[in-house]
Structure formats: structure tokens, C-alpha cells
Amino acid sequence: MDIDYYSLLARAVAGKDETARDNVYRDAFSLIQRSPNFSPEAAASHVAALETAIRRIEDELVAEGSKHSADVNAVLLPKANPRPLIVIACMAVAFVALSGLLYGYLANKGPVGAGMMASSSKTSQAREEAVMGDLKTGVDGGSSGEGLPFALQRQVVFYRTTAPPGSIVIDRETRFLYLIDSNNSARRYGIGIAQECLNGGSFSRITGKLEWPDWKAAGVDRQDGLLASAGRPGSLLGARALLLDKPGLLIHGTNSPKTIGHLVASGCIRLVNDDVEDLYRRVSLETRVVFVG
């Protein structure tokens, strides 16, 4: 193995904030996992080298930040030398004046001055509010996520979290479910989410598991209205369901793979059938579920 991950990553993340750096790290892990040229042993070796490089870069950034803070304190807290304080006071006055001018400019410009931020906010809001309809019950739209964008397909990614290994983290905003592994990695699944499940508590746990669940006639959106082993391909709840300890919360499959990544009309947290079956095999009762976003 002759790849200098430290040099490659250091150049790639130079000047980037923590979120942007995490995205670069995740992409690097994903490339290793998807490479057809690596045997499992070689891939594990490359992942270990990549993790070492990431730790080195992050440690250096922390050290650099501490040095910068010390340099700033040396300027702001001089001994018996009032000149820096005078300079800082002048800078503060200039900043206040500039802020006033900028506020006046934006106020006069009105909606046009809001520009890209307003447009971005409206775009995000539109995405949140658009509900994607399901296929009809009994129509089998498939069980695989192969037709979805690559980001929504099941894959192992770099992921930092305080949740312990074995936990599930559901990011309601980005439409991802993470099954947490060790060493800052996770198995990521694309999800669809119903409006009723966008809000609520942050912590839950799995209290039940059902294979091929189906709704009772009058039990839609109620856990006590679920029947085990009554469904089939084409069921709105898909192949598997994980019931959580709060009414209306469950993780389940779908007969409409194209709804993954979207706000959906029924159910709660949905995955394509292949993914929910994979998740079902990997988790047990009492597994901790954390909602973020």
C-alpha cells in the first residue's frame, strides 16, 4: 500500500470547516469500500491508514486552533500596554458603522437583497412540503434501491456520533438512517419520512419486530392496528417493520422505492424492502433509536 492518505486529505480539506471535512472523509471511505481492486484484507488496511491520516489531520487542526487562541490572547491581554485596546475599540466602532450601512442597504433592497438566501430557503421549504404519493396497495414497485441516486443506496460511510455502536440514528432532515458501527463508521440507508414523524422526541427504542406486516382495516397509523405475516409484495408497509416505544413511530419497508428521500403520505420511516430486511437482521429488541434534524 503506497497511498499517502495524509498528504491527499490534507490538501483536500485545507481551509474547509468541520462539516466540509467530514464530507471529504466520508467520500474517501466510500471510495475504498466500493473499489473492485481491493480484497477485504486490503480494504481493511486502507481504511486503517485512512483513519490514521484523519486523526493526524484533526489533531493538527486542534493544536493549530489552540496556538491561534494563545496568539489572540497575547494581543488582547498585554501587560501595561493600552495601545492594542485602543486599536480594538476603533475596530469595534468601525464594525458597528459598517453593520449599520449594510443593514440600511439590505432594508432598501427589500426582497431582492435577500437574494440567494431567500431562494434557498424557499427551495428547502418546497422540498419539505412536497409529499410524494405511494403506489396503490397490491402494486409491487420493487424491493431494490438500485434505481435511486447513489447517496440514497445502502453503503458504509464515515460517521461521527456520540451514539454507541449498535444504535440507530435517524436524520430526519437529510433523509438518512445510520446503523452505528465502531471506528467512526456506520451503515447508511436512504429513507422516506411521513409528515407525522418529522417532529417529536429525540430518543426511542425498538419494542417489536414484524415480518410482512399489514394494516388492519381501521388501524392505519396505529401500532395496535398492525398484523404480522399478513402482508405481501405490494404492501404499503413492505417486508419488515420495527416498532418503536412511542405511538405511531415505526421503521418499515415500502412498495414504492422511488419515494425514498422524500416526504411521504403514509407510515413513518420507510426503507426499500432489501434495506429494511438488512436492518431487521442486524438489530434486536431494545436497540436505541436517536432522532436528529
Helix/strand/coil (H/E/C) assignment for every residue in 71-139: HHHHHHCCCCCCHHHHHHHHHHHHHHHHHHHHHHHHHHHCHHHHHHHHHHHHHHHHHHHCEECCCCCCC
Which CATH number, 3.40.50.20, 2.40.440.10, 3.40.50.720, 2.130.10.10, labels domain 150-292? 2.40.440.10
First-to-final CA distance of the chain: 39
Do residues 209 and 280 lie in contact, with contact meaning Cβ atoms separated by under 8 Å?
yes
Q: CA 276 to CA 252: how far, in whole Å? A: 6
Identify which of 156, 181, 158, 154 has the alpha carbon closest to the alpha carbon of residue 168: 181
**Domain residue spans of the chain:** 5-75, 150-292
pLDDT at 115: 40
Low-confidence ranges of the chain (pLDDT < 50): 68-69, 72-73, 75-80, 104-123, 125-127, 217-220
pLDDT at 209: 95
pLDDT at 271: 97
Task: Provide the β-strand partners of residue 155.
Answer: 188
Residues 27-58: pLDDT tens digits? Answer: 887 777 777 777 777 777 787 787 888 888 88
Residue ranges of alpha helices (H) inside the chain are 5-13, 18-34, 40-76, 83-109, 111-129, 273-282
Do residues 134 and 254 lie in contact, with contact meaning Cβ atoms separated by under 8 Å?
yes
CA atoms 249, 195, 267, 216: torsion sign: positive
Name residue, grid cell 486523526.
55
Q: CA 84 to CA 50: how far, in whole Å? A: 44
pLDDT at 90: 58
